[in-house]
Amino acid sequence: MDLRAKQVQAYLSRQGLVPQNFTVPTPTSAAAAAAVGCSVGEIAKSILLLVGKQPVIVLTSGDTKVKSGRLKQAAGLTGKVKLPDADEVERYTGYATGGVSPFLLPEGLPVFLDQSLQMFELIYPAAGTDSSAVALSFSLLEELSGGKIVDVCDIQKMTDI
């Protein structure tokens, strides 16, 4: 486990949370759900997107898809919405692709929490690696991430995930 992951897991432990580390990678919502033993929707996926040149993080249920127009409106930004490459993900978030955690993100990186996560009692975001997760409530995720609640996603068909 790298230093960043250790910092995140120590931070989560100080919050009274217990990070889970798996022996298999969990870089996708489906893989994470299988490892955790929950539905794909209960996985809180962290997606870095570039709106124009502005990076933003969207946390959403594992069975949803971000709608570009709604994200631009919620963020108050213009420009094309695109997925960054792996180097950009690490540069903007401090995490490798597949393990982006909503905790201890760089200051100034906007975080948006899609309302789809509110329907679950517990949700499971990454805990600093592509083979970890932590169980927490939506309200605690909102508090710890400092994210703004938005409606920017639609549910996907299971074949799209």
Residue ranges of the domains in the chain? 3-160
Residue-wise DSSP of 124-155: EE--SSTTEE--B-HHHHHHHH-PEEE--EEE
Q: How does pLDDT run across 20-61, given as a tens digit for each residue? A: 999 999 989 999 999 999 999 999 999 999 999 999 999 999
Task: Please give the Cα distance from 97 to 106 (Å, whole number).
Answer: 16
Task: Please give the Cα distance from 161 to 62 (Å, whole number).
Answer: 8
Give the position of tokens 């931070």: 11
Which residue, among 7, 25, 23, has the nearest Cα to 15 in the 3D structure?
Answer: 7
Residue 43, SS3?
strand
**Tokens encoding 84:** 């960054």
Q: How does pLDDT run across 54-88, given as a tens digit for each residue? A: 999 999 999 999 999 999 999 999 999 999 999 99
Q: Supply the pTM of this predicted model.
A: 0.92
Contact call for residues 142 and 115 (beta carbons, < 8 A): no
Instruction: Give the Cβ contact number of residue 102 at 10 Å.
Output: 26
Residue type, 56: V
Which residue, among 116, 125, 121, 118, has the nearest Cα to 144 in the 3D structure?
Answer: 125
Q: How does pLDDT run across 90-132, given as a tens digit for each residue? A: 999 999 988 999 999 999 999 999 999 999 999 999 999 999 9
Residue 45, SS3?
strand
Q: Is the pLDDT of residue 157 over 70?
A: no
Instruction: Output the pLDDT for position 2.
Output: 84
* CATH fold for the domain made of 3-160: YbaK protein (3.90.960)
154 beta partners: 65
Q: Is the pLDDT of residue 159 over 70?
A: no
Provide the total of helices (H) and of strands (E) in the chain, helices listed first: 5, 10
Instruction: Output the pLDDT for position 137.
Output: 98
Q: Is the pLDDT of residue 158 over 70?
A: no
